[in-house]
Every structure is written in structure tokens, then in C-alpha cells.
């Protein structure tokens, strides 16, 4: 598995854990809808926000890694309004792979 693929799995695992622990109160309707979308489809994916500023070459490496992980059945992608990739979610196999990487001490940075 390539370094970028490992980083994506670990970062998605981390953001999913944070998301599950941070449900806003129901009375905050403006925050709750965004949270529900992320909870259902996975964390919002933007390579620059997940991995910091990067040049176009690195952004495309991460994008190809997402495609590779999706083909391998480790992540599912969501495209809000049918356009560009907006969210990534780990599948059951992806969760297992991310847990294994974390247990081996691989880091996402």
C-alpha cells in the first residue's frame, strides 16, 4: 500500500472518530444538518485541509490514492449534487486496514 493511501486511511479514521464524538445539540439546526451529512457520507474531503498545503502534483497523488482505495473496497466516496468528490467514508474493510496500520505505528504525517 502506498504512503498516500495509508495517510488517507489513517486521517479518515481520525476524522470519523472526531465526528462521531461531536454531534451538535439538536437546537443548533444550522450545524446539525452539516453534521448529519458528514455522519452519513463520511468526513468532508479536501486534500489541503486533510494534509496541509501542497502543490498540484501532491494533490493529484492523493486523488489517485482515493481512487485506488475505492477500487480496493476500502473507502466509499460521495459527490454532493453529483459533482466533485466531497466526502470519504471507510468501509468495514477500510476500518480494519486503518486499525492495522495504527497498531503497526504508521502515522498519517
Per-residue pLDDT reduced to its tens digit, 36-85? 777 788 898 988 888 999 899 999 999 999 999 999 999 999 988 778 88
DSSP structure class, residue 82: G
Q: Is residue 26 part of a domain?
A: yes
Domain CATH number, residue 58? 1.10.10
Q: Is residue 61 part of a domain?
A: yes
Q: Is residue 108 part of a domain?
A: no
Q: Is the pLDDT of residue 108 over 70?
A: no
**Range of weakest confidence among 15-19, 20-24, 52-56, 73-77:** 20-24
Counted domains in the chain: 1
Return the SS3 of 9: helix
Grid coordinates of 98:
486503518
- At residue 109, the pLDDT reads 58
Q: Is the separation of the CB atoms in 87 and 41 below 8 Å?
A: yes
Q: Is residue 19 part of a domain?
A: yes
Q: Is residue 52 part of a domain?
A: yes
Orientation of helix 29-41 relative to helix 3-20, angle to 10°: 140
Burial-class residue 1 by CB neighbours within 10 Å (0-12, 13-18, 19+). Answer: middle
- At residue 64, the pLDDT reads 95
Q: Is residue 64 part of a domain?
A: yes
Q: Residue 35 CB: number of other CB atoms within 10 A?
A: 14
Range of the domain at 38: 3-103
Q: Is residue 109 part of a domain?
A: no
Q: Is residue 24 part of a domain?
A: yes
Amino acid at each position: 500500500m502506498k504512503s498516500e493511501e495509508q495517510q488517507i486511511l489513517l486521517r479518515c479514521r481520525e476524522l470519523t472518530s472526531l465526528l462521531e464524538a461531536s454531534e451538535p445539540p439538536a437546537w443548533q439546526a444550522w450545524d446539525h444538518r452539516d453534521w448529519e451529512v458528514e455522519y452519513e457520507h463520511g468526513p468532508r474531503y479536501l486534500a489541503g485541509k486533510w494534509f496541509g498545503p501542497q502543490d498540484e502534483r501532491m494533490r493529484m497523488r492523493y486523488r489517485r490514492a482515493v481512487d485506488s482505495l475505492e477500487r480496493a473496497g476500502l473507502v466509499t466516496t460521495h459527490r454532493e449534487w453529483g459533482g466533485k468528490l466531497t466526502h470519504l467514508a471507510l468501509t468495514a474493510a477500510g476500518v480494519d486496514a486503518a486499525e492495522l496500520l495504527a497498531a503497526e505505528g504508521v502515522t498519517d504525517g
